[in-house]
């Protein structure tokens, strides 16, 4: 069984993330959406909230499993017997950062390979940070995040519909 992991903060998960997961699930037997406890970023949602939103958002795809982790992603990959790390590339500006991550992970675990997926054009510029900012300023993000995520984000930011 070919197991891949897609690790990140997912604060919140977006349709761009889901697009990458869907593409990966067509290539691998199982994709573990790995929600990081701590990444050095300050999150708006707790780990449990992020996991719950991820689970609701990918429930339709039985090849995707949501798991939380802490520590090094390479250690988590070993624990779940994953040999593939999924990463999304939105723009050339992502490449340098993603390449350095892939090289460090390869240095830490020689068996771990990184596979890059590119999201659909309509999601190329999306980021969780951008989604949080647009919602906070009253913008419409309904086409870019699952409905459950939009509701949770508006509730968290105390924005009325």
Q: Residue 44, SS3?
A: coil
Choosing from 56, 68, 78, 90, the catalytic residue is 90
Please give the average per-residue pLDDT across 132-159, as a whole number: 94
pLDDT in tens, 28-38: 999 999 999 97
Q: What is the largest CA-CA distance in the chain?
A: 49
Q: Which of 2, 38, 41, 100 is catalytic?
A: 41
Judge whether 85 and 4 are in contact, CB under 8 Å.
yes
pLDDT in tens, 86-131: 999 988 778 999 999 999 999 999 999 999 999 999 999 899 999 9
Query: Active-site residue 128, yes or no?
Result: yes
User: Comparing C-alpha atoms, which of 60, 80, 100, 69 is closest to residue 4?
Assistant: 80
| Domains of the chain in sequence order | 3-125 (3.40.50.620)
Does the active-site annotation cover 41? Answer: yes
Q: Is 100 a catalytic residue?
A: no
Task: Give the DSSP H or E segment for 4.
Answer: strand 3-8
- 132 in active site: no
Query: Of the residues 25, 34, 57, 128, which is catalytic?
Result: 128
């Amino acid at each position: 069984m070919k197991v891949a992991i897609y690790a990140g903060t997912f604060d919140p998960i977006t349709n761009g993330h889901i697009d990458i997961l869907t593409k990966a699930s067509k290539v691998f037997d199982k994709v573990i959406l790995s929600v990081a406890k701590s990444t050095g970023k300050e999150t708006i949602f707790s780990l449990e909230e992020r996991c719950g939103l991820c689970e609701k958002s990918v429930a339709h795809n039985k090849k995707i499993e949501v798991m939380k982790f802490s520590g090094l992603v390479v250690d988590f990959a070993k624990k779940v017997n994953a040999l593939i790390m999924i990463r999304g590339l939105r723009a050339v500006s992502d490449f340098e950062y993603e390449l350095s991550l892939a090289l460090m992970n390869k240095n830490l675990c020689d068996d771990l390979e990184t596979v890059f997926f590119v999201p659909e054009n309509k999601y190329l510029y999306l980021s969780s940070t951008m989604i949080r900012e647009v919602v906070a300023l009253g913008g419409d993000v309904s086409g870019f995040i699952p409905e459950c995520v939009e509701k949770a984000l508006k509730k968290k930011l105390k924005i009325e519909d």
